[in-house]
Amino acid sequence: MTPLSWIILVIALLIAIFLPRVGGLAVYKSYRASQEREQVEDALKHLFDREQHGRLASPESLAGALDLPRGRVTKIIEDMETQGLLESRGAQLRLTSQGERLALHIVRAHRLWERYLTDEARMPLEKIHSEAQRREHSLTEAELNDLDAALGHPTRDPHGDPIPTREGTLPKAEGTPLTAWQAEGPIRIVHLEDEPALAFEQILAAGLRLGQTIRILDRSPKRILLTDGETEYRLAPAVAANVSVAALPASEIEKANAISLAELKDNQRGEIVILDEAVQGFTRRRFLDLGLTPGTIIHPELQNFFGDPRAYRVRGTLIALRKDQAAQVWVKPVQVDT
């Protein structure tokens, strides 16, 4: 290679490295900035979670949550203090109002992504947390609002955790750990804690799910026996503590006396009581857009030779629903004066 060729090669390499925006150095700097931003956002989420449980984070707890050495965590804390995101008092770390606002954005993004991955991508429940963790850093506020609207403004993620609103408020978490529930009668599963992962896997393996109505049959220091009326479930108390329950809401009590829309006879009219808990995401949004809301009168119309889909008259409009869709709408038969 001639000296001139070497000079051209060196110049080309320097251009490739230092070219603004697309050069190797620019790409590396962009990667580092993105990595540092994600670490800060993960730190915000950890501080927020600790405060929600009545505790304050510490450098040690933050190092464990981020899986980073103490020296790197100290630098992150200093940078966050400079940005006005947290205040440190000794070994205690507390979010500022600005830090809490950004933390709520990340929590909202994570829980909306989990809702999307469960309802639309049909991803197994045990895999959505890590995937949502990867995606939660990528959305702007406007994009997050669009995702929220497209999913029908869900209020809970697939584990039962409340989703922050676009205004920055977090609804109160509901439920009592199964191990602490003492009342008689049927109860509803309102939250499944996904950490530790081993306990969550055992809950899923047992077949329990969010929204399920169960009853406690027996309890002992070694196990809690549950039933949903068809199947019995046995959980160790340490695992059962990760299942939160609540008394049945009035809508669920009404549902017990209702039938699915798919069961409505051709000559019957029904008043919509509730949409099934399983109806979430884009499907729930479509149902609401079609006018399938509690209190609405609906009835079958125009027989289909094959039986599926079936036509229904609702709010003066004719709509078509498949049998599996109609089975997710609960109605009570009513008499309508003619």
Kindly state whether residue 305 falls inside one of the protein's structural domains: yes
Alpha carbons 152 and 175: distance in angstroms, whole number: 23
Residues 52 and 23 in one domain: yes
Alpha carbons 33 and 45: distance in angstroms, whole number: 18
Closest CA to 252 of 177, 160, 191, 330: 330
Contact at 8 Å (CB) between 98 and 82?
A: no
Residues 76 and 28 in one domain: yes
Domain range for 76: 18-95
The pLDDT, as a whole number, for residue 284 is 85
Kindly state whether residue 9 falls inside one of the protein's structural domains: no
Kindly state whether residue 42 falls inside one of the protein's structural domains: yes
Kindly state whether residue 91 falls inside one of the protein's structural domains: yes
Alpha carbons 227 and 34: distance in angstroms, whole number: 48
Kindly state whether residue 152 falls inside one of the protein's structural domains: no
Q: What is the pLDDT along the chain (338 residues), one digit of tens a residue?
A: 567 666 666 666 656 555 555 455 555 466 576 788 999 999 999 999 999 989 999 999 999 999 999 999 999 999 999 999 999 988 899 999 999 999 999 999 999 999 999 988 889 999 999 999 999 998 999 999 999 998 888 899 999 999 999 998 998 888 999 999 998 888 999 999 998 889 999 999 999 999 888 999 999 999 999 998 889 999 999 999 999 999 987 666 666 678 899 999 888 999 999 888 778 778 888 899 999 999 999 999 877 666 688 999 999 999 999 998 999 999 999 876 55
Closest CA to 114 of 184, 210, 178: 210
Token representation of residue 53: 């449980």
Residues 238 and 199 in one domain: yes
CA atoms in the 13 A half-sphere facing the CB of 327:
6
Q: How many CB atoms lie within 10 A of CB 11?
A: 10
Residues 330 and 259 in one domain: yes
Residues 305 and 330 in one domain: yes
pTM over 0.75: no
Q: 225, 248, 271: which is the final residue of a domain?
A: 248
Q: What residue type is assigned to position 254 of the chain? A: E
Q: 67, 95, 123: which is the final residue of a domain?
A: 95
Q: 53, exposed or middle or buried, with CB in 10 Å at 0-12, 13-18, 19+?
A: exposed
Angle subtended at Cα 270 by Cα 306 and Cα 324, rounded to the nearest 5 degrees: 40
The pLDDT, as a whole number, for residue 280 is 78
Alpha carbons 184 and 217: distance in angstroms, whole number: 10
Residues 266 and 296 in one domain: yes
Alpha carbons 243 and 189: distance in angstroms, whole number: 7
Kindly state whether residue 166 falls inside one of the protein's structural domains: no
Give me the number of domains the chain comprises: 3
CATH code, 237: 2.30.30.90
CATH code, 57: 1.10.10.10
Q: 46, 71, 95: which is the final residue of a domain?
A: 95
Alpha carbons 42 and 103: distance in angstroms, whole number: 9
Contact at 8 Å (CB) between 98 and 89?
A: no
Kindly state whether residue 131 falls inside one of the protein's structural domains: no
Q: Phi and psi for 218 in degrees, rounded to 5?
A: -160, 155
H or E, element range at 44: helix 24-52
Kindly state whether residue 140 falls inside one of the protein's structural domains: no
Alpha carbons 57 and 62: distance in angstroms, whole number: 7
Residues 329 and 262 in one domain: yes
